[in-house]
């Protein structure tokens, strides 16, 4: 009998957690992080482009980020993208250098960031559940095609569910850790 490939399901679920980790890096805690601007997309040459592909991000001080834009014509677009990113930042440019002072996190801002972290976690959970659904459909198809027996289908379904539960738990733990980090004064 053919054995379903659970490694692909696990890889895809791990990918959802990795994406969540990257998004969490962009959420600010107490100090400047170059990863804060990772989710920012800039309208460049008619296409949405990651900020990191139009300039270099630096953190010269704990409360300051800088972006050195490579193409002088892109400075206004980069400024606009940062301002509209929902991160609550107010950039100012000086030639091709954009300075982004990071305001102190007040309680209201911390709560907004916590909500955003929750939204990211929920998106990751949806991704994991979608992978689970794909896995369950694959098992149904294999049973229907006679590749696996009903008992094997049940056993593999349980394994897919266990993988799902473990990944959801990891997402919840990552969210708790991030919220604690954000709320810490």
Q: What domains, with CATH codes, occur in the chain?
A: 6-23+106-183 (1.10.132.20), 31-101 (3.30.1360.40)
Residue 166: Cβ within 10 Å count: 13
Q: What's the burial of 173, exposed, middle or buried (CB within 10 Å: 0-12/13-18/19+)?
A: exposed
Specify the pLDDT at position 1: 46
**Is the Cα torsion angle 110, 33, 67, 54 positive or negative in sign?**
negative
C-alpha torsion 37→43→48→54, nearest 10: -50
pLDDT at 30 over 70: no
- Residue for token pair 């379903």: 4
pLDDT at 157 over 90: yes
- Give 182's contacts (C-beta < 8 A, 6+ positions apart): 27, 28, 29, 105, 110, 113, 114, 117
The pLDDT-based confidence of 69 (bands split at 50, 70, 90) is confident
Strand partners, 94: 97
Average pLDDT, the chain: 86
- Give 47's contacts (C-beta < 8 A, 6+ positions apart): none
Among 142, 164, 166, residue whose Cα is nearest residue 153: 142
The pLDDT-based confidence of 35 (bands split at 50, 70, 90) is confident
pLDDT at 53 over 70: yes
What CA–CA distance (Å, rounded) separates 155 from 32? Answer: 48
pTM of the predicted model, to two decimals?
Answer: 0.68
């Amino acid at each position: 009998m053919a054995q379903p490939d659970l490694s692909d399901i696990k890889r895809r679920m791990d990918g959802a957690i990795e994406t969540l980790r990257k998004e969490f890096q962009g959420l600010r805690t107490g100090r400047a992080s170059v990863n804060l601007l990772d989710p920012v997309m800039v309208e460049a040459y008619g296409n949405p482009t990651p900020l990191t592909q139009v300039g270099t991000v630096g953190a010269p001080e704990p409360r300051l980020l800088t972006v050195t834009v490579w193409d002088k014509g892109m400075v206004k677009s980069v400024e606009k993208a940062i301002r509209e990113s929902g991160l609550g930042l107010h950039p100012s440019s000086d030639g091709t250098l954009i300075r982004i002072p990071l305001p102190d996190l007040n309680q209201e801002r911390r709560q907004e960031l916590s909500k955003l972290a929750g939204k990211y976690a929920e998106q990751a959970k949806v991704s994991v559940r979608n992978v689970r659904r794909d896995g369950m459909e694959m098992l149904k198809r294999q049973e229907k095609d006679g590749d696996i027996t009903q008992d094997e289908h049940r056993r593999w379904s349980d394994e897919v569910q266990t993988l799902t539960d473990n990944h959801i738990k990891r997402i919840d733990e990552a969210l708790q850790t991030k919220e604690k980090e954000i709320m810490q004064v």
